[in-house]
Structure 1
Amino acid sequence: MIGRTGVALLALLAGMDAAAQTAPGAEALAAKFGAREAVQQISLAPDGAHIAYITPAGTRGSAAVVVDLASGKSTPIGLSDGARMTPLSCGWASAARLVCKFYGISDYGGQRISFTRLLGFDADGRNSLYLGRRTRNGQRPNQFDGSVIDWRTGDGKVLMERNFVPERAELGTNIVADTRDGLGVELVDTVTGKAQMVERPDAEAETYYADGQGNIRMKMELPRSGTGQLKGDAVYSYRPIGAAKWLPFSTSLRDDRNSLDPIGVDGTRNVAFATKRLDGRLALYSVALDGSMTRDLVSSNPQVDVGSIVRIGRRGRIIGATYVTDRRQTDYFDPDYKKLAAVLRRALPKTPLIHFLGATADEDRLLVFAGSDTDPGMYYLFTKATRKLEALVMARPELEGAALGQMQAVQFPAKDGTMIPAYLTLPPGGATRGLPAIVMPHGGPASRDEWGFDWLVQFFAARGYAVLQPEFRGSTGYGDAWFADNGFKSWELAIGDVSDAGRWLVGQGIADATKLGIVGWSYGGYAALQSNVVDPDLFKAVVAIAPVTDLGRTKDEADGFANRDLVQRQIGSGENVGKGSPARHADRFKAPVLMFHGETDVNVGIGQSRLMDKRLRAAGKQSTLVEFPGLDHQLDDSAARTTLLAKSDAFLRAAFGH
């Protein structure tokens, strides 16, 4: 529904309607770009006979499609209508058995909380079985059922992290309450549901690391205060092969930027891979798990952080590390995969983003993705023995043949002279000067943008806008100095960079100064609003999707959760909170504002947008709020995204006077 608006908005809204009517094909284009990705997650069976992928069913529902690769026959299996739970991933426990993880939001004690659930079923959709632990009279909600952390050999049994919730005793019965508490690991038969304890529950355990050989080799614990609040520290332990006792690996203290943080274990090499800072940037090390803790540098970059690993096969063998300069790069440790990646890039020159997504048990057949900035991507099956590459399914078939804008890495100077990296996407067709333009800051703020297809960016480019995505200070991936104190505590620095992005577009002649807008999602929505507090004359229109609008309210939203103290520290205190909250400075706004928000958002409560809208209208400013019932932060609904795109485009055109 559309939120109430003041009288001053009537002319603008009329202009929005007129703009929509006079823009041929705008609605159809919004529907194409707003359609959810056809492949939301994909996996390959251990014998290579089938693939399974999650795909949209209706505007917000989901189905699993199981494809027989020999015959090409597809079997759709309905998973969700999107009303309560959404599937996140499906993997193969055996050649004939799938395990899917679902995500949902529910109310508990007056608060909205997220939860996950696990379900197993045959490849034809039959013999479904709930794989979570059933708890009677739990002392707290069982939010997270668990996760598969080792898919093993494909015999139908998997290693699962499982959350144990202590039970209350039932008075008047002889039923013994289960008092086990915390995260444990069990070997679960996905057909029968029978489970065998592997690691007893640990109340402070946050995750376990399997080695791909059926062994639990590491765990991470998050210590809590006496009130149950997370302290912000992490304690890592490991075990040599065959040992029962946990040994200390490392401790990551809240304010320590020199910690050794494991991100994966490779049992084939008996090592953990961990990040540690080298000259202010994250580098990747291998650490021996034989008791010696021998540490070797395996990947680093002098410009950016190395922050992730590449796995292959059912055993999760680690074959490389990735980092992002102007594009994502992979530093392969495995020479065969390094060579294969180079061969595939030559074979697919228009889609140089090559990712290995899965493999059969013997790694003879590989699941591969290839895409680019102007190609949403294709999923392939590569057979090593025949060196045959077969196209399987397109990521976004609705956009086949659509003209897309090229994304290029650029830099612009901030007010203090610092060069800020960014991505510039110009409209397809060659126009480069005097364009309507958008600055689009990313969410997070502990995040960054990357080169590649982006449905939001490409829609606006297709509608004739230039789009600039600044990697403002406060972004991750560029080292400690760039991250500063994060984009909330250091909001003046971050917002200054965002505003300077707009000034650069105008100064370069790319943007028409009268047609410069700003669009952002989550923290990006916050940046879009706060930039108008800092410089009300720069941007002529603001679109904020699920934005933070009041930093004090963000702190309040964490009340009742274990991370409350961490959120308090992230946001900070004192006058910075008031100055950095756009909802407290509605009187400074000159540009009209359009906001979108999902009613069940647990990342940023919808009350943030409602507060901003109320304050703007009370100050006599132009504000519209579009609410989406039943949707959360990602607005994972094709109809909602189509509405978002169409209304944003019409709003910007009306604000720009065309």
Structure 2
Amino acid sequence: MSGLFLGSAMAAAVPLQAQAQSGESGEQLAARFGALEDITQISLSPDGTKIAFISPRKGGLVLEVANLAEGGFPTAITSVPTEEGELRFCKWSTNARLVCQVHYIVDYAGQLASFTRIFGLDDDGKNAMLLSNTKSLRARTFFQNGGSVIDWDVEGEPGRVLMTKVFVPENTIGTRLANEEEGLGVEMVDTIKGRRRRVEKPDEFATGYITDGHGTIRVKSRQQTGATGLLKPSEDFFYRTPGDWEWQWLSSWGGPEETGVLRFEPLAVDGKSNRAFGWAWENGHRGLYAVALDGSLAREKLFADEVVDIDGLIRIGRDNRVVGLSYARERREQVYFDPEMGALSKALAGALPGEVAVRVVDADREEKNLLLRVTGDTEPGMLYLFNKAERRLEEVLPVRPKLVDLELAPMKPVMFPAGDGVQIPGYLTLPPGSTGRDLPAIVMPHGGPSARDEWGFDWMVQFFAARGFAVLQPNYRGSAGYGSEWYKENGFKSWKTAIGDVNDAGRWLVAQGIAAPDKLAIFGWSYGGYAALQSGVLDPDLFKAVVAVAPVTDFEILRAEAEGFTNAALVREQIGSGPHLREGSPAQNAEKIKAPVLLFHGTLDQNVGVRESQVMAKKLEQAGKSVRYVEFDGLDHFLYSSEARTQLLADSDAFLHTQLNLD
């Protein structure tokens, strides 16, 4: 590792990126940008001497450990083949023991089901042990949820964590010892010896628990359900006063407004001040509030913004203590309650090259060493270790080493007018070194729709910019983050407004002279894929090529996919009913689409079923339209594979070059 000493003036560092390499083909660049991050998750040991991180390798994900104190190279200690699942996280429970979670999807006669399991192992890969308590031959159903760790710092109990457990009723025939309890509870689990004991009895309707970070459970959430057992779009929260085991009502969140009901979503508990931190709405925007857990439920507004919603808590340490918040206007901004962390964050951002964001991803037990992730629009990610006492910053690992020698394109916040005069925010990225005029261009609507784009590194945007495209990412009405008025009824019920804004983004590119009118395309993933297809229904002549990845294509199919699951009522409410179901479904209006279409979808997609793209391709073919459909076997909604993403970029690039006559 190379070190950067940070004195009182926080000395400047050497830029991390070299000049761009030229002359690379689309396929070569696709391999670079399509490669998964080399570090998908990383953790620092309690004493700050070791790191453990997950890396993608051919055939699966690998857990590697490196001893920072000895300057050793990383050593792979275990792996999970792609066909056996995805290694989601690994975190230290002691200085020599790790706890990991694996997620996998199983296809049962056409129905996809998710499973998670948590296991422990030593830092040399030995003594692996399943920690999820799923052993029961009498269980009446599958143990899908293997639990989650909700507290890593149980005081006085080294190596012991608090884990949720789903209790499943057992068949009672032939025994009096069968478990008849049902729901989510909590156990204390010894990650070294595997012993466990129950600390919170199961609750049939519980969805989660929040601790104070030191082993005491303070808040419980319960999902509201209807008479048929289907989930409602609201949760109730309950809390305990210090030293009391009785649950008291705290608040509700989601669903219709009710007079006299505290609308508050708790996210964290601070045991010292005896308060819960969480979201509440005021004047159509979400802010951060604190609610006293002493019986008074006194509420204090900590921070709110008049333009955008507050959407991030900044937490550090093994107890996940809250030190600040973040929100995104044109760029993400941070507000710290902890003066030391605020000053440190500002100094670090000022010392590093370029415009970057600094995020603490982990810390040792004493918070003397901080593991940092630094990113920006032209910085794909570098991990650093910061020693507070020595004020020394050391590079650990680059997140995307295949991109460190490439010149990346700056992302610029812009505003453009919708057809009704409303100003729509977005981000414009131009090819490095271009004039910014008369370019091939792509409108790239985000997924969700209850999400938003923001300033920072984006592998797809940067690939297309490297290939000479201008890229505009609109935060159309229906996006989250800009308040309830901007969200409207969501991008499904209010699809005409959302897709109208997306199309106006393309018109603005042409009107500004950025895009050549005959070289304008649209590319989207998930809801963004829906927007890409539906844009061609609303204005068939605007875009000359359409690329849609894992898109929603038919509202009726989307609703049918949820039937038989507990979220069926939520999906029905999100989509609504009426003529807009047909009018807003591209698969039911395929004959209106003029532009050639390229579709991608994974067969294990649980967010948007693969049938959506299969039906869309068939409808386009029947209507005599130009369409190509690429299906990735064994991959989910996110196509989490370097090979798949490389093909996605290379095929899309070739398709766009052909359809826009760029070769």
- What residue is the counterpart of 2:240 in the other structure? 239
In the alignment, does 2:286 pair up with 1:282? yes
- What residue is the counterpart of 1:656 in the other structure? 660
The superposition leaves residues 525-564 of structure 1 with CA deviations (integer Å, 9 ceiling, x where unpaired) of 0000000000000000000000000011000000111000
Q: Which runs of 4+ in 1 moved over 3 A?
A: none
User: 1:253, CA displacement in angstroms?
Assistant: 4.8
The answer as to whether partners of 2:356 and 2:379 remain within 8 angstroms in 1 is no
In the alignment, does 2:415 pair up with 1:415? no
The superposition leaves residues 494-544 of structure 1 with CA deviations (integer Å, 9 ceiling, x where unpaired) of 000000000000000000110100000000000000000000000000000
Letter of the structure 1 residue corresponding to residue 607 of structure 2: N
- What residue is the counterpart of 1:47 in the other structure? 47
User: 1:139, CA displacement in angstroms?
Assistant: 2.0
The superposition leaves residues 11-60 of structure 1 with CA deviations (integer Å, 9 ceiling, x where unpaired) of xxxxxxxxxxxx952111100000000111111111101111111111x5
Classify the secondary structure of the residue corresponding to 1:486: coil
Letter of the structure 2 residue corresponding to residue 247 of structure 1: Q
- What residue is the counterpart of 2:212 in the other structure? 211
Letter of the structure 2 residue corresponding to residue 185 of structure 1: V
The answer as to whether partners of 1:543 and 1:593 remain within 8 angstroms in 2 is yes
Matches of 1:416 and 1:374 in 2, distance apart? 34
User: 1:231, CA displacement in angstroms?
Assistant: 1.8
User: 1:589, CA displacement in angstroms?
Assistant: 1.0
User: 1:110, CA displacement in angstroms?
Assistant: 4.4
Letter of the structure 2 residue corresponding to residue 139 of structure 1: R
Classify the secondary structure of the residue corresponding to 2:226: coil
- What residue is the counterpart of 1:167 in the other structure? 170
User: 1:107, CA displacement in angstroms?
Assistant: 2.6
Matches of 2:167 and 2:429 in 1, distance apart? 48
In the alignment, does 2:393 pair up with 1:389? yes
The answer as to whether partners of 1:586 and 1:619 remain within 8 angstroms in 2 is yes
Matches of 1:185 and 1:111 in 2, distance apart? 29
Letter of the structure 2 residue corresponding to residue 407 of structure 1: M
The answer as to whether partners of 2:129 and 2:194 remain within 8 angstroms in 1 is yes
Q: Match for 2:460 among 456, 463, 468?
A: 456
* Farther-moved stretch of structure 1 (222-231 vs 313-322): 222-231
Matches of 1:160 and 1:431 in 2, distance apart? 56
The superposition leaves residues 87-114 of structure 1 with CA deviations (integer Å, 9 ceiling, x where unpaired) of 1111111111111111110134641111
Matches of 2:320 and 2:68 in 1, distance apart? 23
Matches of 1:638 and 1:232 in 2, distance apart? 36
- What residue is the counterpart of 2:16 in the other structure? none
User: When the two structures are superposed, what TM-score results if normalisation uses the length of structure 1?
Assistant: 0.94
Matches of 2:578 and 2:427 in 1, distance apart? 34
Matches of 1:290 and 1:240 in 2, distance apart? 6
Letter of the structure 1 residue corresponding to residue 240 of structure 2: R
The superposition leaves residues 225-262 of structure 1 with CA deviations (integer Å, 9 ceiling, x where unpaired) of 23211122211000011011111111235123982111
Within 5 Å, give how 1:314-325 maps onto structure 2.
314-325=318-329
- What residue is the counterpart of 1:194 in the other structure? 195
- What residue is the counterpart of 1:424 in the other structure? 428
Letter of the structure 2 residue corresponding to residue 40 of structure 1: T
Matches of 1:109 and 1:83 in 2, distance apart? 18
User: 1:176, CA displacement in angstroms?
Assistant: 2.6
State the aligned residue count: 633
Within 5 Å, give how 1:551-630 maps onto structure 2.
551-630=555-634
Letter of the structure 1 residue corresponding to residue 218 of structure 2: R
Matches of 1:455 and 1:625 in 2, distance apart? 22
- What residue is the counterpart of 1:547 in the other structure? 551
The answer as to whether partners of 1:263 and 1:308 remain within 8 angstroms in 2 is no
Matches of 1:190 and 1:475 in 2, distance apart? 42
Letter of the structure 2 residue corresponding to residue 313 of structure 1: G
- What residue is the counterpart of 2:78 in the other structure? 78
CA change 1:113–1:578 in 2 (3 A) is same
- What residue is the counterpart of 1:68 in the other structure? 67
Within 5 Å, give how 1:91-130 maps onto structure 2.
91-108=91-108, 110-130=110-130
Letter of the structure 1 residue corresponding to residue 69 of structure 2: A
User: 1:266, CA displacement in angstroms?
Assistant: 1.9
CA change 1:643–1:175 in 2 (3 A) is farther
Within 5 Å, give how 1:201-600 maps onto structure 2.
201-256=202-257, 259-600=263-604
The superposition leaves residues 438-467 of structure 1 with CA deviations (integer Å, 9 ceiling, x where unpaired) of 000000001001111000110000000000
The answer as to whether partners of 1:229 and 1:563 remain within 8 angstroms in 2 is yes
* Farther-moved stretch of structure 1 (397-406 vs 221-230): 221-230
Letter of the structure 1 residue corresponding to residue 31 of structure 2: A
Letter of the structure 2 residue corresponding to residue 163 of structure 1: V
Letter of the structure 2 residue corresponding to residue 639 of structure 1: E
Classify the secondary structure of the residue corresponding to 2:589: helix
User: 1:340, CA displacement in angstroms?
Assistant: 0.3
The answer as to whether partners of 1:475 and 1:486 remain within 8 angstroms in 2 is yes
CA change 1:302–1:349 in 2 (3 A) is farther
- What residue is the counterpart of 1:90 in the other structure? 90
- What residue is the counterpart of 2:184 in the other structure? 183
* Farther-moved stretch of structure 1 (71-80 vs 512-521): 71-80
Classify the secondary structure of the residue corresponding to 1:459: helix
Letter of the structure 2 residue corresponding to residue 586 of structure 1: A
Matches of 1:312 and 1:268 in 2, distance apart? 16
Structure 1: tracts of 5 or more residues without a match: 1-22
- What residue is the counterpart of 1:16 in the other structure? none
The superposition leaves residues 101-138 of structure 1 with CA deviations (integer Å, 9 ceiling, x where unpaired) of 11110134641111211111011111111111123232
- What residue is the counterpart of 1:19 in the other structure? none
User: 1:349, CA displacement in angstroms?
Assistant: 3.7
The answer as to whether partners of 1:266 and 1:316 remain within 8 angstroms in 2 is no
Matches of 1:253 and 1:52 in 2, distance apart? 38
The superposition leaves residues 414-456 of structure 1 with CA deviations (integer Å, 9 ceiling, x where unpaired) of 0000000000000011330000000000000010011110001
Classify the secondary structure of the residue corresponding to 2:301: strand
The answer as to whether partners of 1:351 and 1:370 remain within 8 angstroms in 2 is no
Classify the secondary structure of the residue corresponding to 1:223: strand
Classify the secondary structure of the residue corresponding to 1:323: strand
